[in-house]
A and B are shown apart, each in its own frame.
Chain A
Amino acid sequence: MKIKKFLNTILLFEIIFLLQQNIFAAGDELNTVMSIMLVFTVIIIAVTLWLSVVYSEKNDNEGKAFLNPYRKFLKMLTKSTPIENEKDILLDHEYDGIKELDSKVPPWFAFLFYGTIVFSIIYMVRFHVIGSGDVQAEEYLEEIRAAQVERQILIKTGAFLNEETVTFTKDAGALSNGKDIFIKNCAACHANDGGGLVGPNLTDEYWINGGGIKNVFKVIKYGVPAKGMISWQTQLSPTQMQEVASYILTLEGTEPANPKQPEGEKWVEPKEEETKS
């Protein structure tokens, strides 16, 4: 039976959309995807119904039972007089040969009109009676506030810290965090006291890739793959990298148990003016 075929088609579409939904659902925007799917499903059903109407006009015997409620529904929305009975509602005037029918105003049109009027009343009440009426200024302040909150979060996570902007921190808490990070991640190669094992000695004044907070931060962030130093930017946040880099710089001049020989160049901190330019 043809009707079964249609129902099967609907089912097939449903399955396809459900599958797609699962694929999309892996993302964050689940709600958006869900609502898009819902809209699509509704559209598919509507189109299918419409197709079935077109089809059933060709095969009047089949499908009538299935379509009757839908036809009734359509009829209710349009209240249109069938074209065969048109002469019953033909008005008795004509203008230069143009006649007019006395068709009812389609109920769907009236619903649409009333709907927009209700929408408008709610809109005005919502913003200008219940609300303050100061719509766009408030909206703007809210947008700015949200941006500031986001910025504070970003500052906390150190999102603004990079090898250009990073500074040495003297903060005791930060340095203690730095020490913990060092013991956990760096000591394996550089020794617990920074004296160096596979990696170079971090307590002397000699640096292979340049000293100072910016260079050290950069080496931690990107690593020096050729020499076996790995990149840490996916494992440590910028703030953590700042803390551990600062901690490493505090080690200079300490006396480790088994210091490795100095490697690289002796580092001289550039003068203030030069760094500024």
Chain B
Amino acid sequence: MNVEKFSYDNKIVRLFTIATVVWGLVGMLVGLLIAFQMYLPDLSFGIQYITFGRIRPLHTNAVIFAFVGNAIFAGVYYSLQRLTKARMYNDFLSNFHFWGWQLIIVSAAITLPLGLTTSKEYAELEWPIDIAIAVVWLAFGANMMGTIMKRREKHMYVAIWFYIATFVTVTILHVVNSLELPVSLFKSYSIYAGVQDALVQWWYGHNAVAFFLTTPYLGLMYYFLPKAANRPVYSYKLSIVHFWSLIFIYIWAGPHHLLYSALPDWAQSLGTVFSIMLIAPSWGGMINGLLTLRGAWDKVRDEPMLKFMVVAVTAYGMATFEGPMLSLKNVNAIAHFTDYIIGHVHVGALAWNGFLTYGMFYWMMPKLYRTTLYSKKLANAHFWIGTLGIVFYAAPLYWAGIAQALMWKEFTPLGILQYPNFLETVIQIVPMYIIRSLGGLLYYIGVIVMVYNLYKTAKQGSFLANEEDEAAPITIEKDKPKKGKIHRWLEKRPIQFAGLATVAILIGGVVEFVPTYLVESNIPTIASVKPYTPLELQGRDIYIREGCVSCHSQLVRPFRSETERYGEYSKAGEYVYDHPFLWGSKRTGPDLHRVGGKYSNLWHYLHFEDPRSMSPGSLMPRYTWLLEQTLDIETTPVKIAAMRTLGVPYEEGYEEYAVEDLMKQAEEITNDLMNNGVVTEPDKEVIALIAYLQRLGMDIKANANGN
């Protein structure tokens, strides 16, 4: 047998590892800042670039795509080369991938604080960056598939299955959800409207969790856990069963983010049942991980890296049980829009993704630097500080979420809302916000301890850039699959494998999307719903820019407690001109879908200037710059034309006099403000935003009056 000599590229692994640590520190620091802003609204110091609404997406993008993203790549580049007995396919692609990805992160860190956002959660980046993401991601995919093709190991190990599924699915998710019509270099409108946009967004959002935060991490778990424990994987059969069921079922579950919304009932129910069916496939990963430790639990006592992995896998099991429970409509009715969900996702992010990453680094760094870990004691300290941090982070939010939801729903014995003032329910949970931020701080301290430990480990070792190895080349015989060995056969064929995985993940999406688009009865139209006026459209774009959707929903659910508080519940037909939809996923402030006409223009003006002047105790930051900045009306004709392209029925040629209409409406509002003692100019941004807010919910009220 002729044995080939080759080397593994450790340099790229080190680059991604460093990037993970750096962006982790940055992303979590931003998270810490917004956690403090939750109860210290003036902590943005009047600087628009660091208000909650703008940097909350910065936090989520940084931890998901920069911290977790780079960790995935570090782990994949390390494990894939060794599992395939091959160097990465192309060193240039590896480096292109690395620097391209960092460039994307930097551009996100610049554009998001500037307010350049599509407002779609975890897909906030504007269209030029979307294109860059697609290119870099495909480079990663090509590099990975190329490596697999020239492998020296006949079969693909389960970790690689998960990497392949990740690659194909994220590609599809990103492309479909990012379809948008550019109106300028950094502004675009989603091609989908209202309910359809919501469905696509949460198909994406949910599966970003599934195929960015879960499947690649399961792949990493399947490599690093048995390596660290030096134990065989518990069950190959279980791997097969849970892999295919997981990727097939996961894709359907997106609508559970839209329960009790204007999404058609049948789609909601599919979201619920597929979430329930996800319990077992998810737990398959957990039990295969934990049972792999059979006979090695004594090692867990000694090895901090195994402790991290055990907590990570257990937290994964907890979160994937909690998720399906939250998808039951009666549970969702309480937890949705509250801090409970924030607690839930952070158990996943801090424990599953975070701890698995740390476990992986504690194992990998000494290998890369041919040394031992600098200090086990510090790693243990990190473990305990981090675990405490997670508890102090999640527990208060669970408590806060349930407490607030019950307050929202509470009626007096005489049948009126017990807490009609939304603010009362917010002030009640401020102590929980304080504890949460301290939990976050603890967790952050743990990470700093790790960074020091890893740095010292690198310092004491010597880096091995190219690790030599040797293996015999393989030939794949052209055999037919044998009975009972079909999967074994498939493991030799990456292309067929990727094709089959693609089919598995497409089915759910297609079944849910196609009818929502084609069957008209799914979105009953409402005659009185009209397109936004030019001023309102501009105001809506400011609403998007400032990230109002981070804290305010525009979705009144069909509950008596909500229709009493806000007004008629939201109907699908109301959103037909909303590119993008702005339903929101969290109510730190009240719902705004029926806010039009509720307060005077003056109230809004003073409220933006200082929310606490109108609502003492409010947690909303001041938006003083809206009162000073001039609205860019030049963009109006382009925006109107773009909206018409997307199917909004503005008359042909309306863009000619749209600006005129805009000024007229702005002057009306300005005059009203003047009559009430506030002197301002019609071209201020705040005027457009007030116009938009005053419009919300008015169409359906007009409808009610008409009847």
Contacts and interface: CB of A to CB of B under 8 A. Distances in A.
Interface residues of A, number: 44
B155 interface: yes
A147 B561 CA distance: 11
Contacts of A99: 226, 232-233
Nearest to A120: B273
A50 interface: no
A147 B564 CA distance: 12
A98 B223 contact: yes
A134 B268 CA distance: 11
Contact of A116 (B235, B277, B559): B277
A135 B269 contact: yes
Interface stretch (B212-220, B280-288, B631-639): B280-288
Given A96-B83, A98-B223, A133 B265 contact: yes
B284 A109 contact: yes
Contact of B238 (A96, A109, A119): A109
A128 B266 contact: yes
A160 B269 CA distance: 40
B200 to A, nearest CB: 21
B563 to A, nearest CB: 8
A113 to B, nearest CB: 4
A151 interface: yes
B287 A128 contact: no
A211 B155 CA distance: 96
B260 interface: yes
B558 A140 contact: yes
The interface size bin for chain B is 35 or more
A105 B238 contact: yes
Contacts of B83: 95-96
Contact of B558 (A113, A133, A136, A150): A136
B560 A140 contact: yes
B560 A127 contact: no
Given A120-B274, A127-B265, A109 B415 contact: no
Contacts of A102: 235-237
A100 B273 contact: no
B269 to A, nearest CB: 6
A139 to B, nearest CB: 7
A101 interface: yes
B569 interface: yes
B153 interface: yes
B294 to A, nearest CB: 6
A258 interface: no
Contact of B155 (A93, A134, A151): A93
B414 A160 contact: yes
Interface string B82-126: 110100000000000000000000000000000000000000000
A265 interface: no
B269 A127 contact: yes
Contacts, number: 120
Contacts of A154: 414-415
B419 interface: no
B238 A103 contact: yes
Contacts of A137: 558
Nearest to B561: A143
Interface string B540-566: 000000000000000000111001000
B236 A117 contact: no
B236 A91 contact: yes
B487 interface: no
A102 B235 CA distance: 5
A101 B414 contact: no
A144 interface: yes
B677 interface: no
B308 to A, nearest CB: 19
A116 B276 contact: yes
B237 A109 contact: no
B279 interface: yes
Interface string A54-97: 00000000000000000000000000100100100011010111
Contacts of A264: none
Nearest to B272: A123
A268 B274 CA distance: 72
A43 to B, nearest CB: 17
A95 B83 CA distance: 6
B235 A103 contact: yes
Contacts of B155: 93, 95
B227 interface: yes
Nearest to B292: A101
A105 B153 contact: no
A117 B248 CA distance: 14
Contacts of A12: none
Contacts of B241: 105
Contacts of B291: 80, 103
Given A120-B274, A128-B265, A86 B232 contact: yes
Nearest to B259: A136
Given A95-B153, A144-B560, A160-B414, A101 B235 contact: yes
A124 interface: yes
Contacts of A127: 265, 269
Given A103-B234, A120-B277, A140 B559 contact: yes
Contact of A143 (B85, B234, B559): B559
A104 interface: yes
B281 A113 contact: yes
A159 interface: yes
Interface string A120-131: 100110011000
Given A112-B283, A127-B269, A101 B234 contact: yes
16 contacts: A83-B295, A96-B82, A96-B157, A103-B291, A109-B284, A120-B273, A120-B276, A123-B269, A128-B266, A133-B265, A136-B260, A140-B569, A143-B560, A147-B560, A154-B415, A159-B413
Given A96-B157, A124-B273, A133-B265, 11 more contacts: A96-B82, A96-B223, A103-B235, A104-B237, A109-B284, A116-B279, A123-B273, A124-B270, A144-B560, A159-B413, A159-B414
Interface of B: 79, 82-83, 85, 153, 155, 157, 223, 226-227, 232-239, 241, 245, 260, 265-266, 268-270, 272-274, 276-277, 279-281, 283-284, 287, 291, 294-295, 413-415, 558-560, 563, 569
